[in-house]
Amino acid sequence: MVEPLAVALGVTLTLLVVAVHYSKGTEKPIPDDMAQEVTERRAEMVPETEFAEPMNRSIGGGGGAVAVGAGAEGEAAGELSEEEEVDPSDDPSVIPDDEADVFDVEYVKEGETVAVRENQTLLDAGEENDWDLPYACRQGQCVSCAGHITNGSADDFIIHSNNEMLGQEELDDGYTLTCVAYPTDDLTLETGETP
């Protein structure tokens, strides 16, 4: 048995929902997307810096940002002009394995000393031993792979094929970027140490 009051209440609520659905509402306009405007305002608030931007802000990507302190011709500081070329003898990675000198590198935290060829980076040598060493860009553009040479100045024991992050003071203190550091002498290395 259906009660007439329940039926009347159900019909009334249904008609009320239908009426609200078809009503025009406030006709408030939907605002335009303001994401670009907010991004531009935030960018204006960030102060300019004096140091050169790294070529890569993402982990593992290519990149191509121009440095803030660019020269008059628009070249980033430290970049080669079109006439200049990189001397292949400055890049130890091009030395054939059978001609490469071998140096003993003691990895302190890993507790082992390994033979590292002069054409092999300290990071690659560690990875060949299945060690999980820290790194990010593999291009000398961050300090994720930084390590500390305990023997003295980094310049006395390694060559960096690219170094956009460490200054001369850090190099003198023995800091190195293992992803681009090639040994030139026997050394002791503490991995995971940043300046």
The domains of the chain, with CATH numbers, are 95-191 (3.10.20.30)
Residue 169, pLDDT score: 93
b/e sequence 71-95, b meaning 16+ C-beta within 10 Å: eeeeebeeeeeeeeeeeeeeebeeb
Residue 54, pLDDT score: 53
Please state the pTM of the whole predicted model. 0.56
**Tens digit of pLDDT for each residue in 90-117?**
688 888 889 899 999 999 999 999 999 9
Are 93 and 183 spatial neighbours (Cβ–Cβ below 8 Å)?
no
Lowest-confidence pick of 7-11, 75-79, 149-153: 75-79
Q: Per-residue pLDDT for 62 more than 60?
A: no
